[in-house]
Amino acid sequence: MTKVRAALTQTVDVMQGRSASLDDVHAANLAHHLGLIAQAKKAGVKIICLGELFSAPYFALEKNKKWLALAEDARTGPTVRLMRDIAKRFKMVIVAPIFELDGKKRYNTAVVIDSSGRVLGKYRKMHIPCGSNEQGEFAETFYYGRGDKKPYFPVFKTSVGTIGVAICYDRHFEGVVKRLAENGARLIFSPAVTFGAKSRRMWDMEFLVDACRHRVYIGGSNRLGSEKPWGQKYFGASYFAGPDGEKLKNLSRNPKLVIADVDLGALEKKDPSGWDLDRDSRPKVFSAR
């Protein structure tokens, strides 16, 4: 498939701090995202990436053991079971970033589900932030660890093309997009929950530079709005970056959805700049870590 209509979600926890069980929080956010997936389907979308930890608020703004109970199995848990059914019904590839429980270990994981409903595999976030900025704290190491199984940066051959995933903090690290591109990814998704002045400035540059440098498409998604009880604001600004350093046109009228047409066939054409970065690179000096 050459041209693919792709989508990202950019939304926040629909419960907004209302008193409820964790099961209710989970169910409400799943229902909310099902509505967005259905809208994407009507718009002709063939592949969609949901937001980082989409079925819950961004709980890493605090250290609270209660949120640990949200973690679930990446194959048999309720989120993946539901997303498999939806992917098959809508004939849509779904990238579902969940809070994963594997034995006693927890991970920030993106599960890739093909349009047949089959789970193609998963990517576990490799770089886990722990710090704070002028707006708030992100204590992710309290909740989950880094991916610990090879290949660390897998790619997935879906019905619409070969894709890769780099979750949030991963996007800042040298070599991540390079490795995914070398492994065959042509469309890379980067679901994120991010805030702060420096993050906002870099957001409009990082994906564009990496997409151009490695001749891939990158879809970067961020939450849009704020979540109670913390009141942390997320700037949204989700977009698709193209291989010539351009932002793709957003075809959606819903602010919670970003939709773009991705021309994977264009990646086979000669770079219009005349650059040949693969040929002219010096791997002994600039090798990926």
Q: Which residues are catalytic?
A: 52, 125, 168
For residue 35, CA distances in Å to 14, 20, 40, 42, 254 come to 12, 21, 9, 11, 12
Nearest residue to 159 via CA among 240, 83, 46: 46
Q: Are 243 and 270 in contact (CB under 8 A)?
A: no
What number of CA atoms fall less than 13 Å from residue 239's CA on the CB side? 16
Distance CA 223, CA 233 (A): 9
In sequence order, the β-bridge partners of residue 105 are: 102
Place of tokens 């390079």: 178
Nearest residue to 110 via CA among 128, 132, 95: 95
Chain CA centroid to CA 205, Å? 17
Distance CA 188, CA 27 (A): 28
SS3 110: strand
